[in-house]
């Protein structure tokens, strides 16, 4: 596992974007696994800049997002589909037909999970971008005695709803369920880039990457993956140095 600590957000964003861009520059039909949350936004902004300058093209790239809330009306600004359009897809030359976000409004959610897994099985993710929740979740794989391998419906922990309430007018508006790719699918990615920012994540990222591997800290399973790069800002990295 390669841990990189950055003194400035700008450097973190540049290196994060350059890892994605160099993959796409050499493999133009790369399959990207993408994440939402505040952590990857700066990297997406840098990718937009590189795309505008003509240094990288996403014309032949396909993407799969990790997760989506269940039950938010289509077009709601906090759906992860809206997030991805606003933060990335609307500003780069990707063909939106090649982008996938689970449909949290599917009439049959079980069927939607099955379809998503079938598409993932055909695609094989080259690079998966990940953030981490305060409780160690990845995607929306919440701490539990057992974890799912494939895409599934999850009941969000109260702490996760509280953490994400900042994006909504009130906690009551935060969905109680989500559809998420499973840890099995995440770990199948050829390479994983975990992005962690802020002092409030310092403890969990340290426990996840140096503590016991346990389903109670889903991100700890990343210790079993052979190709992980972790991008930490200096606040998130504080327990790794002395
Ligand atoms: N489902 C997403 C996760 O994929 C993300 O990693 C996490 C952390 O978000 P942030 O980067 O905003 O702290 O938030 C949500 O719960």
- Atom 4, ligand 1: which residue's CA is nearest? 139
Distance CA 130, CA 33 (A): 8
ipTM: 0.95
Question: Which CATH number do you get for residue 58?
Answer: 3.40.50.1360
Q: Which of 12, 34, 35 to mutate to test the pocket of ligand 1 (most atoms within 8 A of CB)?
A: 35
Q: Does 132 sit in the ligand 1 pocket, CB within 6 Å?
A: yes
Distance CA 65, CA 80 (A): 8
Q: Which structural domain, as residue segments, surrounds residue 102?
A: 2-212+219-240
Task: Tell whether the model's pLDDT for residue 242 goes beyond 70.
Answer: no
Tell me the pLDDT band of 84, cut-offs 50, 70 and 90: very high
Mean pLDDT value across the chain: 97
- Atom 14, ligand 1: which residue's CA is nearest? 37
Q: Does 20 sit in the ligand 1 pocket, CB within 6 Å?
A: no
Distance in Å, CA 136 to ligand 1 centroid: 10
pLDDT tens profile 113-142: 999 999 999 999 999 999 999 999 999 999
Domain count of the fold of the chain: 1
What pLDDT score does 105 carry? 95
Task: Tell whether the model's pLDDT for residue 241 goes beyond 90.
Answer: no
Q: Could you tell me the two tokens for 2?
A: 């390669």
pLDDT tens profile 42-66: 999 999 999 999 999 999 999 999 9
The verdict on whether 67 is a catalytic residue reads yes
Residues, the chain, total? 242
């Amino acid at each position: 596992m390669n841990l990189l600590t950055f003194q400035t957000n700008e450097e973190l964003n540049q290196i994060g974007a350059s890892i994605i861009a160099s993959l796409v520059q050499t493999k133009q039909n790369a399959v990207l696994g993408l994440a939402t949350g505040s952590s990857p936004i700066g990297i997406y902004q840098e990718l937009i800049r590189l795309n505008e300058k003509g240094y990288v093209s996403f014309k032949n790239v396909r993407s799969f997002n990790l997760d989506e809330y269940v039950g938010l009306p289509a077009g709601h600004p906090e759906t992860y589909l809206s997030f991805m359009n606003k933060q990335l897809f609307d500003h780069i030359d990707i063909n939106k037909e090649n982008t996938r976000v689970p449909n949290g409004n599917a009439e049959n959610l079980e069927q939607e999970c099955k379809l998503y897994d079938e598409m993932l099985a055909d695609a094989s993710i080259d690079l998966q971008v990940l953030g981490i929740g305060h409780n160690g979740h990845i995607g929306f794989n919440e701490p539990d005695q057992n974890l799912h391998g494939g895409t599934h419906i999850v009941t969000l922990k109260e702490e996760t709803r509280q953490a994400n309430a900042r994006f909504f007018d009130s906690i009551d508006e935060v969905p109680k369920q989500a559809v998420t790719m499973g840890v099995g699918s995440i770990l199948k990615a050829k390479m994983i880039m975990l992005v962690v920012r802020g002092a409030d994540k310092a403890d969990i990222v340290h426990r996840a990457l140096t503590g016991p591997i346990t389903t109670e800290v889903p991100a700890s399973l990343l210790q079993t993956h052979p190709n992980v790069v972790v991008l930490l800002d200096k606040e998130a990295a504080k327990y790794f140095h002395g």
